[in-house]
Amino acid sequence: MKIPLLDLKGQFKTIQDEIEKAVRDVLESGRYILGPNVEALEEEVANYCGASYAIGVASGTDALRLSLLALGIGEGDEVITTPFTFIATVEVITQVGATPVFVDIDEQTFNIDVDKIENAITSRTKAILPVHIFGHPVDMEKLLKIKEKYNILIIEDAAQAFGSECNLSHDKNQPQWKKVGSIGDAGCFSFFPTKNLGGAGDGGMVVTNSKDVAERLRLLRAHGGNSSKYSYNALGYNSRLDELQAAILRVKLKYVDKWINLRRERASLYNELFSDIPLRVPCCESYAKHTFCVYTVKSPLRDKLREYLQTEGIGTKIYYPIPVHLQIAYKNLNYREGGFPAAEKACKQVISLPIYPELEKDKIFYIAEKIKNFFKRESL
């Protein structure tokens, strides 16, 4: 049996007629850049997230970069973030002239360890950039207290967490559930095809409750001004969301909650099937509603397990094999191995398994059977 890590064709087939009509309507309209579909998607995403504004941009990376700029972060500033993330989270900090400051992760959630953040705050700290890794929210209730105490900005990297929620009260009886992205000063989403809400190419969006930030983002994404009048108030970028991508995403947005629930069902089945083997499955803290954009397990035998699964036709991936602080691109920051042990351990032990709404349950049973066989073999 061949089971890919991801099957985008399978999802397309379930909504093919709607997607093809949406694409055809855009092509027939002749409006391809920042047209009515982008405007409608921005409104729909803002409503979905419970935010006041949403601004479509060209990618999740641009969503992060432009958010930093819109919030005035630049030369001389420090931004606290996690070393266990995709490089884009950190490279944008450097690109705007600020300095990334790393804090180690919580071993259970793989998210930045919020309890260690205060020790990293200095007089130069301007913002915290938490990553809701794999779809599990960061503990935003604790983070908001730090924000208030130190008057620090929060830019959420929610690239993998569209639809995830956090209980801001930590009270099960009186919960205050809120979608990630809408909690900080800006929330950044990626519409890369592999995400919970993925397009047919690159795309991104920023949500915010600040009118000033929203207006600044609209300027920055279109060269810093009103392109139709050739009037520019700032130096900006070409980072506009394509009308075709917006039309496709509007179709998919109607199904995203259904797909997220299917991801949760599949993750729950995996967890149940793995309950009797030495494999660390993803946790879901009580304050969080996980969306399982990625299903990541952990084992000291990761490399051998991955090689075995490959021979059995099962697709896997390692998110991430090298922590950002040990990347060659950041050797100038003079971080050394051992500086962030939890993140470094995760990079050596994590492996992500297939999870997507269209993944049949019999394939999950097959994957679990093969993994159980692997651990039986290793225990002999």
Q: Would you kindly state where each structural domain of the chain is located, as residue ranges?
A: 8-103+110-253, 256-379
Tens of pLDDT, residue by residue, the chain (380 residues):
899 999 999 999 999 999 999 999 999 999 999 999 999 999 999 999 999 999 999 999 999 999 999 999 999 999 999 999 999 999 999 999 999 999 999 999 999 999 999 999 999 999 999 999 999 999 999 999 999 999 999 999 999 999 999 999 977 788 999 999 999 999 999 999 999 999 999 999 999 999 999 999 999 999 998 766 778 888 899 999 999 999 999 999 999 999 999 999 999 999 999 999 999 999 999 999 999 999 999 999 999 999 999 999 999 999 999 999 999 999 988 899 999 999 999 999 999 999 999 999 999 999 999 999 999 999 86
Domain 256-379 has CATH 3.30.70.360: no
Angle between helices 36-49 and 243-253 (to 10 degrees): 40
CATH number of the structural domain 8-103+110-253: 3.40.640.10
Judge if 8-103+110-253 and 256-379 fold alike in CATH terms.
no
Place of tokens 């042990």: 341
In angstroms, the CA 243 to CA 261 distance is 28
b or e along 301-324 (b: 16 or more beta carbons within 10 Å of the residue's beta carbon)? ebeebbebbeebebbbbbbbeebb
Please state, in angstroms and as integers, the Cα–Cα distance from residue 3 to each residue in 10, 39, 48, 123, 353, following that order. Answer: 12, 38, 32, 51, 10
